[in-house]
Amino acid sequence: MTTRLLGQILHYHGNPFELGIDASAIHIARGAIDIDGGRIISVGARDDLTPGPAEVIDMGDALLLPGFVDAHMHYPQTGIIASWGKRLIDWLNSYTFPEEARFSDAAYARAQADLTLDLALAHGTTTLASYCTIHPASVDAFFEAAEARAMAVVAGKTCMDRNAPENLRDTIESAVTDSKALLDRWHGRGRARYAITPRFTPTSTPEQLRALGSLWQDHPDCLMQTHLSEQVDEIAWVRELYPEARDYLDTYERAGLLGGRGVFGHAIHLEPREIERLSEAGAALIHCPTSNTFIGSGLFQARRLAERGIPIGLATDTGGGSSFSMLRSMAAAYEVSQLAGQILHPAELIWMATEGSARCLHMSEEVGMLTPDSAADLIALDLASTPAIAQRAARADDIWQAVFPTIMMGDDRAVSGVWVAGERRA
Ligand code: GUN
Ligand code: ZN
């Protein structure tokens, strides 16, 4: 049965960083989206449509958007979000590693996966790319929890064979054997996609990185996700560990871990050569602004990198990030763009949180866009969800002024509807 959702609609003809805002973004004040069989059938102006189908859901003036796509997060860190007072390496050792060790218990892993996905949905996030822990059962737990909710997700076993506690280390061989078994089991099963996941250069030996590079070569349709140039102390450590490498990216490049399906989190302090090579390779960079301010990492150069043609996505990076909300992440991206002198427009922020992230994950045919045949993974945003937001939005002259107060001040209360594969989830 076809369902028709009524509301305002915002969608895009293409990348606003390439086409400009006016040529890429389309606002329909009285819009309708027809969905059937878990897919979008049509998107358009309400008045142009044929008489309505059996079920009509009127969301009033809410803004209908694709569900948010959180392109980099760590579901095992949900329990330690908002932990005080540390920078990256100390934060990993003090908070993250002890919590990740608990995921040797498969039941705990499943409970945390369920909790994280429910929090994500409540915040309007319908697709996530998550790191798991070194335990293969933590990957099964996440994919099973996502499958139970019909969510399209990316995940992978985090690989670490040095500079981590003994109980969180794998080996060169087990990293490959376990990752291969997991990608054989999950990649392409239902809506699941696998990402080969070395945590970052400091926690893998060169041999482990190379072994994962060969695994990726054997399975080129999988993604590869890792961290790159997040914090200056980390970069100095990488230089000590790899005196022969030209730069941080080179530690991945020489291992066969730079490619078009590579997804690099953070990428704040990049050298010109790294930007050149990322651009040539077509690899994606994921901006994690609440994490970058929370852990004190630095200012991502979103516009500069996007204008080099590098795919840019947006993410929460929970629990280094301090919020499950992609709205809050857009607000932080705006604040970072102010500090970096490269101010981002609301159209660019929303695009990064939806289609931009989906493109980085090579999933834009399925999620992140309002186009016929896309999955019906949708949200409705109430643009007057609190008195403070409502009084500001009431003065808006156009859609951008109407939506910006929700970007800057909105949270899960702004998410008035969530559909995953056409089923209402919130
Ligand atoms: N670098 C390596 N591991 C991590 C992690 O878990 N979070 C963040 N923010 N950076 C990392
Ligand atoms: Zn991360």
For residue 57, is it within any domain?
yes
Distance between CA atoms of 251 and 200, rounded to whole angstroms? 10
Query: Contact, 317 vs 73, CB < 8 A?
Result: yes
C-beta of 318 in contact with ligand 1 (< 6 A): no
| φ and ψ at residue 147, rounded to 5 degrees | -60, -40
Q: Quick one: average pLDDT of 143-170? A: 98
Query: What pLDDT was estimated at residue 86?
Result: 96
The dihedral region occupied by 143, where left means phi > 0, alpha psi between -120 and 50, and beta the remainder, is alpha
By CB atoms closer than 10 A (0-12, 13-18, 19+), residue 376 is: buried
Say yes or no: 326 and 338 in one domain: yes
Query: What pLDDT was estimated at residue 141?
Result: 99
Distance between CA atoms of 281 and 409, rounded to whole angstroms? 37
Atom 7 (ligand 1): residue with closest C-alpha?
320
Q: pLDDT band at 70, cuts 50/70/90?
A: very high
The dihedral region occupied by 260, where left means phi > 0, alpha psi between -120 and 50, and beta the remainder, is alpha
Query: What pLDDT was estimated at residue 59?
Result: 98
Q: pLDDT band at 274, cuts 50/70/90?
A: very high
Q: Quick one: average pLDDT of 12-21? A: 96
For residue 98, is it within any domain?
yes
54 pLDDT exceeds 80?
A: no
Q: Quick one: average pLDDT of 23-49? A: 95
Say yes or no: 17 and 122 in one domain: no
Query: What pLDDT was estimated at residue 409?
Result: 98
Say yes or no: 277 and 348 in one domain: yes
405 pLDDT exceeds 90?
A: yes
CB atoms within 10 A of CB 353: 29
Query: What pLDDT was estimated at residue 53?
Result: 73
Q: pLDDT band at 230, cuts 50/70/90?
A: very high
Instruction: Give 373-382 pLDDT, tens digit per residue.
Output: 999 999 999 9
- Please provide the size of the chain in residues: 426
Q: What is the DSSP string of 47-100?
A: GGSPSP-SEEEEEEEEEEEEPEEEEEEEGGGGGGSS--S--HHHHIIIIIHHHH
Q: How many domains does the chain have?
A: 2
Q: pLDDT band at 345, cuts 50/70/90?
A: very high
DSSP character for 354?
I
190 pLDDT exceeds 80?
A: yes
179 pLDDT exceeds 80?
A: yes
Say yes or no: 284 and 268 in one domain: yes
Q: Quick one: average pLDDT of 238-252? A: 98
Closest CA to 347 of 359, 361, 330, 360: 330
Q: Quick one: average pLDDT of 380-391? A: 98
319 preceded by cis ω (within 30°)?
yes
C-beta of 199 in contact with ligand 1 (< 6 A): yes
C-beta of 203 in contact with ligand 1 (< 6 A): no
Say yes or no: 176 and 246 in one domain: yes
Say yes or no: 317 and 384 in one domain: no
For residue 128, is it within any domain?
yes
Q: Last residue of some domain: 360, 384, 404? A: 360
- Token digits for 210? 């190379």
Kindly give, in sequence order, each residue whose CB lies less than 8 Å from that of residue 414, ignoring residues fewer than 6 positions away.
Answer: 124, 327, 381, 382, 383, 385, 389, 406
Query: What pLDDT was estimated at residue 136?
Result: 98
Query: What pLDDT was estimated at residue 387?
Result: 98
Q: What is the Rg, in whole angstroms, of the alpha carbon atoms belonging to the chain?
A: 21
Residue range of the domain that includes 404:
3-67+370-424
Residue 228 CA: which ligand is closest? 1
Site to substitute for ligand 1 among 75, 80, 87, 92, most atoms within 8 A of C-beta: 92
Q: Which atom of ligand 1 is nearest to the CA of 319?
A: 7
Say yes or no: 308 and 239 in one domain: yes
Query: Contact, 332 vs 2, CB < 8 A?
Result: no
Q: Quick one: average pLDDT of 362-386? A: 98
CA of 295 to the centre of ligand 2 (A): 11
For residue 365, is it within any domain?
no
Q: What is the CATH number of the domain that holds 378?
A: 2.30.40.10
CA of 320 to the centre of ligand 2 (A): 7
Instruction: Give 299-316 pLDDT, tens digit per residue.
Output: 999 999 999 999 999 999
Say yes or no: 142 and 273 in one domain: yes
278 pLDDT exceeds 90?
A: yes
Closest CA to 291 of 300, 278, 302: 300
Q: Quick one: average pLDDT of 250-273? A: 98
Q: Which atom of ligand 1 is nearest to the CA of 96?
A: 6
C-beta of 355 in contact with ligand 1 (< 6 A): no
Say yes or no: 376 and 326 in one domain: no
Q: What is the CATH number of the domain that holds 251?
A: 3.20.20.140
C-beta of 74 in contact with ligand 1 (< 6 A): yes
Atom 11 (ligand 1): residue with closest C-alpha?
227
Strands 423-424 and 415-420: antiparallel
Distance between CA atoms of 18 and 22, rounded to whole angstroms? 11
C-beta of 227 in contact with ligand 1 (< 6 A): yes
Mean pLDDT of the chain: 97
C-beta of 230 in contact with ligand 1 (< 6 A): yes
Say yes or no: 126 and 158 in one domain: yes
CA of 414 to the centre of ligand 1 (A): 29
Say yes or no: 324 and 381 in one domain: no
Residue position matching structure tokens 């500090």: 339
Query: What pLDDT was estimated at residue 3?
Result: 96
Query: What pLDDT was estimated at residue 47?
Result: 87
Q: Last residue of some domain: 309, 330, 360? A: 360
C-beta of 291 in contact with ligand 1 (< 6 A): yes
Q: What is the DSSP string of 136-168?
A: HHHHHHHHHHHHHTT--EEEE-EE--SSS-GGG
For residue 32, is it within any domain?
yes
Q: What is the DSSP string of 178-211?
A: HHHHHHHHHTTSTTEEEEEEE--GGGS-HHHHHH
Q: pLDDT band at 1, cuts 50/70/90?
A: confident
Atom 1 (ligand 1): residue with closest C-alpha?
227
Distance between CA atoms of 17 and 205, rounded to whole angstroms? 37
Closest CA to 309 of 281, 332, 333: 281
Say yes or no: 303 and 376 in one domain: no
C-beta of 187 in contact with ligand 1 (< 6 A): no
Q: Last residue of some domain: 309, 340, 360? A: 360
Q: pLDDT band at 49, cuts 50/70/90?
A: confident
C-beta of 348 in contact with ligand 1 (< 6 A): no
258 pLDDT exceeds 80?
A: yes
Distance between CA atoms of 56 and 178, rounded to whole angstroms? 47
Atom 3 (ligand 1): residue with closest C-alpha?
199
DSSP character for 291?
H
